[in-house]
Amino acid sequence: MAGLAGPDGNARAAGREAAGWPGAGPAAAVAVLTALLGWFWILPATRQATGPDAASVSLLDEVAPEDLQDAVATLDPSDPLVAQIRQRRERCAVRLAWVSIVRAPKAAAGSIRLRSGPYVSTAFSLPDAPRRVAIPYPAPYEAGRGTLAVFRAGGAATLALMPAWQVPPGAGEATQPVTWRPSARCGRADG
């Protein structure tokens, strides 16, 4: 029988067949490590990003100090906040967040207004391409969490938060819990 060690010196060939494929040990070790990595690192991160808590909370992106002038241009000019921002010379006197708005695919035309804390934006027509608008944080910046509201009329909208918030069509108010990562960037001398 082929593969059995006989008196003619085929012991080495029989040993290879008994051990399995060459390199199977390292390949098995890599497979086990990959499975452990997935189990302990990737799956919990996926669960966190798509779980019920994370699906209902979105992350706001902070306006960088060098973008403050462009951000202020998207705010309601009649709001006292705008005058407060323009009067202050410090780059981080008022912190703002970016929100991108866009009309949902195949949705009817419509408009939205954003409420973030006491601030209420002007009405924005829902654009076909994402439009970035600034809002003040809906709660004290240091809190790192709050609630954003959308008053909508007409078509469905998508707010490009992380993850995106799909606002259904119709009239009325929709709310979304949001979080942000407070930064000490403005506490440094270089601002």
Q: Domain locations in the chain? A: 12-46, 60-182
What are the tens digits of pLDDT across the range 173-189? 999 999 999 987 654 44
Determine contact, residues 82/72, Cβ cutoff 8 Å.
Answer: yes
What are the tens digits of pLDDT across the range 42-58? 433 433 333 334 456 78
Nearest C-alpha neighbor of 104 from the set 60, 159, 148:
159
Residue 154 is predicted with a pLDDT of 82
Q: Tokens 């469905």: give the residue.
A: 156
Low-confidence ranges of the chain (pLDDT < 70): 1-24, 28-56, 89-93, 185-191
Residue 131 is predicted with a pLDDT of 94
Residue 135 is predicted with a pLDDT of 95
DSSP 22: T
Determine contact, residues 91/71, Cβ cutoff 8 Å.
Answer: no
Residue 90 is predicted with a pLDDT of 55
Residue 70 is predicted with a pLDDT of 92
**Distance of alpha carbon 133 from alpha carbon 114, whole angstroms:** 10
| CA dist 36 → 31, 64, 182 (Å) | 9, 39, 33
